[in-house]
Copies of this chain bind each other. A is one copy, B any other.
Amino acid sequence: MSPAEVTDLNGRGVLMAIGGGEDKIKERRVLTHFFNLAGSQQAHIAVIPAASTQPDQTGELYQALFRNLGVTEIEVFHIRSRADAQDPGRVAALRQVSAIFLSGGNQLRLMSLLGGTLMAQAIRRLNANGVAVAGTSAGASALSQHMIAFGRAGEWPSQRMVQLTPGLGLSNRVVIDQHFQNRGRTGRLLIAVAYNPFLIGLGIDEDTAAVLDPQNRLHIIGRSSVVVVDGSELDYTNVGDVQRHRAVAMTNIRLHVLTDGFSYDLMSRQVEPFLP
């Protein structure tokens, strides 16, 4: 019933949270990283485009992208209803893959389709047993236990700026935001951390990924940056008192802006020495 402490993490699969807008034509650094995680030419990739309003086109797009990288086994799982997500045939097929890719779209659509179904359970179990799971944009948000569903843009925190709902629950320690700089989401990520500073906030830029390894270390990959919001030293916030949409105070937030090559340990909350 309670989310227990996990002691042996080494068997878990990597999580890859991509900030959306990953390069699909040129260097393809982010997609190539996922390709390698999935097993390179031996990969068997599941694409789940259920967050998208145009799942057919989205599914075909990623199928083509992974095929161009050299993957032969790519399966698109269309989940158009909760019944689809309870279908034992689809679940059995999913259990054969080496990695799972969740597309962008609307993370609340994704979770209201998947939440509490056999498919969601299978994704959790596969990841616990070593299968890598990547999500871009909406798919990145949905990876964590507490998911940013929607919110308002703005650089500094104000009340009711962000809406949290339950995600897939593949990590219970982070809360993930995407398209971070492009859509002005610093304020809402700070609010999400103020709500309960146990969470570490990750603001992931476009064409950039935070890769969480089984030892709970984050590695930054890609063109721009990942902002890490650490509230462990927060000594004051009035988020429990402020009315309506007024500004929210927070003191002693620790922030890191990490670019390609940096790592961050979620347990010690320390940036690792950068060795270029």
Contact = CB atoms under 8 A, between A and B. Distances in A.
Number of copies: 2
Contacts of A97: none
Interface stretch (A35-43, A59-67, A233-241): A233-241
A139 B212 CA distance: 33
Contact of A109 (B113, B120, B169, B240): B240
Interface in A120-165: 120, 124, 127-128, 145-146, 149, 160, 163-165
A237 B112 contact: yes
Q: Which of A1, A3, A232 has the most CB of B within 10 A?
A: A1
Contact of A163 (B124, B128, B163, B240): B163
A108 interface: yes
Contacts of A194: 112
A198 B120 contact: yes
Given A164-B166, A234-B82, A2 B171 contact: yes
12 contacts: A1-B212, A2-B169, A3-B3, A4-B6, A82-B197, A108-B195, A111-B196, A115-B197, A116-B197, A116-B234, A163-B163, A165-B196
A270 interface: no
Interface of A: 1-6, 9, 12, 81-83, 106, 108-113, 115-117, 120, 124, 127-128, 145-146, 149, 160, 163-167, 169-173, 194-199, 212, 216, 231-232, 234-241, 266
A238 B198 CA distance: 31
Nearest to A251: B82
Contact of A195 (B1, B3, B112, B117): B112
Contacts of A12: 1-2
Nearest to A146: B166
A103 to B, nearest CB: 14
A2 B127 contact: yes
A242 to B, nearest CB: 10
Centre residue among A9, A106, A116, A163 by max chain B CB count within 10 A: A116
B266 A1 contact: yes
Nearest to A171: B1
A154 B117 CA distance: 28
A94 B6 CA distance: 24
